[in-house]
Amino acid sequence: MKNITKITCIGAGYVGGPTMSVIAQKNPAIQVKVVDLNTARISAWNDEDLSKLPIYEPGLAQVVQEARGRNLHFSTDVAGAIAEADMIFISVNTPTKTYGKGRGQAADLKFIELCARQIAEVATSDKIVVEKSTLPVRTAEALKSILDNTGNGVNFHILSNPEFLAEGTAIADLHAPDRVLIGGEHPEAIAALAQIYEAWVPKERILTTNVWSSELSKLVANAFLAQRVSSINAISELCEVTGANVEEVAHAIGKDSRIGPKFLKVSVGFGGSCFQKDILNLVYIARSYHLDAVANYWEQVILLNDHQKMRFAEHIIKTMYNTVNGKQITVLGWAFKKDTNDTRESAAIYVADHLLAEEAQLVVYDPKVSAEQVYRDLDSLGSRTPADNRRLVRVENDPYIATANAYAVAILTEWDEFRSYDWERIKKQMKKPSFIFDGRKLLDKIALVNLGFHYYAIGE
Ligand code: NAI
* 276 lies in the same domain as 396: yes
* 95 lies in the same domain as 141: yes
ipTM for the whole predicted complex goes beyond 0.90: yes
Residue nearest to ligand 1 atom 29, measured at CA: 133
Helices 139-150 and 110-122: crossing angle, nearest 10°? 30
Residue 274 is among the residues annotated as catalytic for this protein: yes
Instruction: Tell me the per-residue pLDDT of 237-254, one tens digit each, with 9 for 90 and over.
Output: 999 999 999 999 999 999
**93 Cα to the center of ligand 1, angstroms:** 3
Asked whether 418 and 442 are in contact (CB, 8 A), the reply is yes
Establish if 137 belongs to a structural domain: yes
- Best residue among 20, 21, 22, 36 to mutate for probing ligand 1's pocket (most ligand atoms within 8 Å of CB) is 36
* 222 lies in the same domain as 151: no
* 234 lies in the same domain as 205: no
Of the residues 162, 183, 209, which one is the last residue of a structural domain? 209
Instruction: Tell me the per-residue pLDDT of 420-451, one tens digit each, with 9 for 90 and over.
Output: 999 999 999 999 999 999 999 999 999 999 99
Establish if 191 belongs to a structural domain: yes
For residue 26, give its domain range.
Answer: 6-209
Establish if 1 belongs to a structural domain: no
Instruction: Tell me the per-residue pLDDT of 325-366, one tens digit each, with 9 for 90 and over.
Output: 999 999 999 999 999 999 999 999 999 999 999 999 999 999
Out of 9, 115, 239, 274, pick the active-site residue.
274
* 166 lies in the same domain as 250: no
| Closest alpha carbon to 18 in 51, 63, 75 | 63
Residue nearest to ligand 1 atom 34, measured at CA: 134
Q: Is the pLDDT of residue 2 over 80?
A: no
pLDDT at 431: 98
116: Cβ below 6 Å to ligand 1? no
Tell me, what CATH number does 88's domain have?
3.40.50.720
* 29 lies in the same domain as 64: yes
* 204 lies in the same domain as 303: no
Distance CA 134, CA 137 (A): 9
Of the residues 157, 187, 209, which one is the last residue of a structural domain? 209
* 223 lies in the same domain as 276: yes
**14 Cα to the center of ligand 1, angstroms:** 7
Residue nearest to ligand 1 atom 11, measured at CA: 38
Number of neighbours of residue 117 by Cβ within 10 angstroms: 14
Establish if 302 belongs to a structural domain: yes
In this prediction, residues 66-85 reach a mean pLDDT of: 98
* 338 lies in the same domain as 428: yes
In this prediction, residues 50-78 reach a mean pLDDT of: 97
Q: Is the pLDDT of residue 267 over 70?
A: yes
pLDDT at 67: 98
Asked whether 338 and 416 are in contact (CB, 8 A), the reply is yes
pLDDT at 246: 96
Q: What is the 3-state secondary structure (H, E, C) of 243-284?
A: CCCHHHHHHHHHCCCCCCCCCCCCCCCCCCCCHHHHHHHHHH
* 267 lies in the same domain as 410: yes
* 135 lies in the same domain as 261: no
Establish if 344 belongs to a structural domain: yes
Establish if 319 belongs to a structural domain: yes
Establish if 172 belongs to a structural domain: yes
pLDDT at 224: 98
Report the number of distinct structural domains present in the chain. Answer: 2
**135 Cα to the center of ligand 1, angstroms:** 11
For residue 162, the ligand 1 atom closest to its alpha carbon is: 44
Peptide bond into 433 cis (omega under 30): yes
Mean pLDDT of all residues belonging to the chain: 97
Could you tell me the pLDDT band of residue 271, with boundaries at 50, 70 and 90? Answer: very high
Residue nearest to ligand 1 atom 43, measured at CA: 163
163: Cβ below 6 Å to ligand 1? yes
Distance CA 71, CA 30 (A): 7
pLDDT at 29: 98
| Closest alpha carbon to 451 in 459, 434, 172, 460 | 434
* 280 lies in the same domain as 355: yes
pLDDT at 151: 82
CA distances from 91 to 10, 17, 34, 389, 427 (A): 6, 9, 10, 33, 46
Of the residues 209, 238, 271, which one is the last residue of a structural domain? 209
For residue 134, the ligand 1 atom closest to its alpha carbon is: 32
